Amino acid sequence: MTSLPIQMPWDLARTRWAAILNALLGNPIVNGSILTQQVLKAGTNIISHKLGRKLQGYIVILNSAAATFYDEQSSNQSPQLTLVLVASAPTTVSLYVF
């Protein structure tokens, strides 16, 4: 009678979990940062995102006024350093940048 090797939990961690965790950690949204209390004027605002790499995206997580936003990243000359955000009204926001 031959016995099959028993896989211990640590063996599973190195094989199965590694693939799952690497996929999760490779997602750019996981490696983001929160920028708090960003005072924006109506019009174009240049915000240093401090990621040390090209900005992949942003989420407005707090907004103190009835303002709408769009970005001008497609024409931004420094996407690795800044977010160019256009606001419809003066406001203070917190942003999650990734």
Please tell me the pTM assigned to this model: 0.76
Which two structure tokens, joined as six digits, stand for 94?
Answer: 């917190």
Q: So what's the pLDDT on residue 4?
A: 62
Rounded mean pLDDT for each run of 10 residues along the chain, 98 residues in total: 64 76 83 96 98 95 98 97 98 98
From CA 84, how far away is CA 44, in angstroms rounded? Answer: 7
Enclosing H/E stretch for 63: strand 58-63
Q: So what's the pLDDT on residue 3?
A: 63
Q: So what's the pLDDT on residue 40?
A: 98
Q: So what's the pLDDT on residue 74?
A: 96
Task: Tell me the CA end-to-end span of the chain in Å, nearest whole number.
Answer: 56
Q: Which residues pair with 60 in a beta bridge?
A: 95
